[in-house]
Amino acid sequence: MMDSLNHATEYLIDLLRAYGHRAIVVNINQQGEELHVQAKDFVRRQLAAAGIKFPYSETNKPNNRILNKHIDEDMLSVIFHEALFELETAYVKEKCEGEPKAERYIESINSWIERKKVWLKCTFPPYSDAKLAPFFDTRPAEKEPASDGDIQEAQEVLSEIGFNSIATIEDVNKLFWELAMRRIPVTKSMRSAVETLITDARVGAWFEETAHSYNCYLHVRSMDPVFRKDELALQKMRKGFKAELSNAQNDLKQLREKVKREHGQGESSYRKLARKLINQLKTSNSRFQATYDFTQEKDIEEFLSWYKVLKRPVKKQTMKSISRAIVKGGGSEELFMKMAEEQNAKFLSVEEDDDF
């Protein structure tokens, strides 16, 4: 029993040296707000209430353990509670077991531990032992860093598929889904690029944990003959789409040049051409609309630039039809509606013309 108590004491000393200054959650008030205190204050208060002496002077020495940088506040809250459970349980067995006079004391300690275990289970998500490891036994092997060029290329890929920030675990899951659809693995450069977009430790930990499983899944699937056949079909479809897009963009370029040439050749000629252009732009599923991805900021700007040239707002019916098409295709219409409404606000003095 002495070994258990010593082990629990040494572990708590290491925790206080490394994380004693960090805040942890110790309770939830009636308004549902989390109550935070420094870990060292929580430990001192609890051990004092339990009447357990502790070598606090040892905690003032420098920390020599290798820290887990992905430990966040919630994880640390669970870690410190469980460390106290271990210490108090070992202390009771070492000092009080078999003592009739200590029965009430033992009962109070066990009661506190049981209540706190229920509270932890209700308050925090379940964590694996690996997630709750505050220290590493050995320093992870240094990996050769990705080059700046590779990281920049990965950042461009993330931007193209709509990721300029990653703030939640849901964003991480969505990212893996988008990468999987494009058969893109999480390479060193992609990992570095993603990490520049993550600011929350919990989100970073989830990404790190899931990236390995994702790469393994992608590798296994890539060996499946059906998967590889689908991949070839997708590549063929992409080439076809790129060819169609290139032709449509050339048509748009020629039309834009024609608009510029005829702009000064009389108002009637200009209005006739402008009317034809707007009719094409607002027609659902037209070749013009098909050339734009209305979930991407650059494409939306390009589409709205036609209305900007003509100094006209986008009609509400056009906005609604495009939004329906976006949602039907599995995307979010929020960005398109926001940008269209912002541009329309600049043309409030121009009433919508039925001809347009």
Burial class (CB in 10 A: 0-12, 13-18, 19+), 343: middle
Burial class (CB in 10 A: 0-12, 13-18, 19+), 77: buried
Place of tokens 């193209």: 160
In the three-class reduction of DSSP (H, G, I as helix; E, B as strand; rest coil), residue 225 is classed as helix
pLDDT tens sequence across 154-200? 888 888 888 888 888 888 889 888 888 777 888 888 888 898 888 78
Distances (CA, A) of 309 to 9, 239, 241, 265, 296: 73, 32, 28, 16, 21
Q: Is the pLDDT at 342 greater than 70, yes or no?
A: yes
CA 171, distance to chain mean position in Å, is 4
Place of tokens 């549902």: 32
Distances (CA, A) of 146 to 188, 190, 191, 205: 6, 9, 9, 20
In the three-class reduction of DSSP (H, G, I as helix; E, B as strand; rest coil), residue 38 is classed as strand
Q: Which of 210, 209, 229, 228 is nearest to 219 (CA)?
A: 228
Indicate the pTM of the whole model: 0.42
Domain spans, the chain: 2-136, 151-222, 231-347
Contact between residue 180 and residue 214 where contact means Cβ atoms under 8 Å apart: yes
Q: What is the DSSP letter of 183?
A: T
Instruction: Please give the structure tokens belonging to residue 127.
Output: 């964590």
CA 117, distance to chain mean position in Å, is 29
Q: How large is the average pLDDT for residues 142-152?
A: 68
In the three-class reduction of DSSP (H, G, I as helix; E, B as strand; rest coil), residue 23 is classed as strand
Q: Is the pLDDT at 113 greater than 80, yes or no?
A: yes
Which residues lie closer than 8 Å to 124 by C-beta, 6 or more apart?
Answer: 74, 77, 78
Q: Is the pLDDT at 76 greater than 90, yes or no?
A: yes
Confidence of residue 220 (pLDDT cuts 50, 70, 90): low
Confidence of residue 242 (pLDDT cuts 50, 70, 90): low
The DSSP bridge partners found for residue 34 are 28
Q: How many CB atoms lie within 10 A of CB 16?
A: 22
- The predicted pLDDT at position 1 comes to 41
Provide the residue count of the chain: 356
Quote the mean pLDDT of the chain: 80
pLDDT tens sequence across 36-72? 999 999 999 999 999 999 999 999 988 888 888 788 8
Contact between residue 188 and residue 143 where contact means Cβ atoms under 8 Å apart: yes
Q: Is the pLDDT at 22 greater than 80, yes or no?
A: yes
Q: β-strands 23-28, 34-38: how paired?
A: antiparallel
Which residues lie closer than 8 Å to 187 by C-beta, 6 or more apart?
Answer: 146, 150, 154
Tell me the CA end-to-end span of the chain in Å, nearest whole number: 86
Instruction: Please give the structure tokens belonging to residue 235.
Output: 């590549």
Share of the chain above pLDDT 70, in %: 81
How is 107-121 classified by DSSP, letter by letter? HHHHHHHHHHHHHHH
pLDDT tens sequence across 272-285? 666 677 777 777 66
